[in-house]
Amino acid sequence: DAGVIQSPRHEVTEMGQEVTLRCKPISGHNSLFWYRQTMMRGLELLIYFNNNVPIDDSGMPEDRFSAKMPNASFSTLKIQPSEPRDSAVYFCASSLHGTGVNQPQHFGDGTRLSIL
């Protein structure tokens, strides 16, 4: 079975440029999560969606960050304009929510983002 698929795996760009990270969740999962991982702050939840609807975006650092989920099989995380402090590994995860049974989240392999 295909897991969570993220693209690109690596992204290097100059500050001020727009960055778009992509995620395809596991088929049938109805919750999707975006995380960011840095050495200083560890793994942080940025935003999550249930049934394509954003539920909690309190972890989004600032207005430069935005996330969309136009359908059940695709989500994007966009940074515009990007800054060097946005350099991190960004993970997408998906899970099955609302079945009454506690369900694990399954993570992709992440996008390693470097802003020069």
Partner 1 sequence: DAKTTQPPSMDCAEGRAANLPCNHSTISGNEYVYWYRQIHSQGPQYIIHGLKNNETNEMASLIITEDRKSSTLILPHATLRDTAVYYCIVRGNTGNQFYFGTGTSLTVIP
Structural contact between residues 34 and 44, judged by C-beta atoms closer than 8 angstroms? no
Q: Choose, by CB under 8 A, the member of 91, 94, 113, 115 that binds partner 1.
A: 91
Residue 40 structure tokens: 């200083």
If binding is defined by CB under 8 A, does position 108 make contact with partner 1? yes
| Count of residues that interact with partner 1, criterion CB under 8 A | 22
In the bound complex, what is the minimum distance in angstroms from residue 45's beta carbon to partner 1? 5
- Contact region for partner 1 (CB under 8 A) — 21-29, 41-49, 66-74, 79-87? 41-49
Six-digit token string for 34: 């975006």
Q: Which helix (H) or strand (E) holds 66?
A: strand 65-71
Task: Determine if 87 is a binding residue for partner 1 (CB under 8 A).
Answer: no
Region of residue 110 (left: phi > 0; alpha: psi -120 to 50; beta: else)? left
Say how far apart CA 116 and CA 72 lie, in whole Å: 33
Closest among 18, 2, 54 to 33, alpha carbons compared: 54
- With contacts defined by CB under 8 A, name the span among 13-21, 69-77, 80-88, 91-99 that binds partner 1: 91-99
Query: Does residue 104 touch partner 1 according to CB under 8 A?
Result: yes
Sites of contact with partner 1 (CB under 8 A): 4, 31, 33, 42-43, 45, 48, 50, 55-56, 91, 93, 97, 102, 104-110, 112
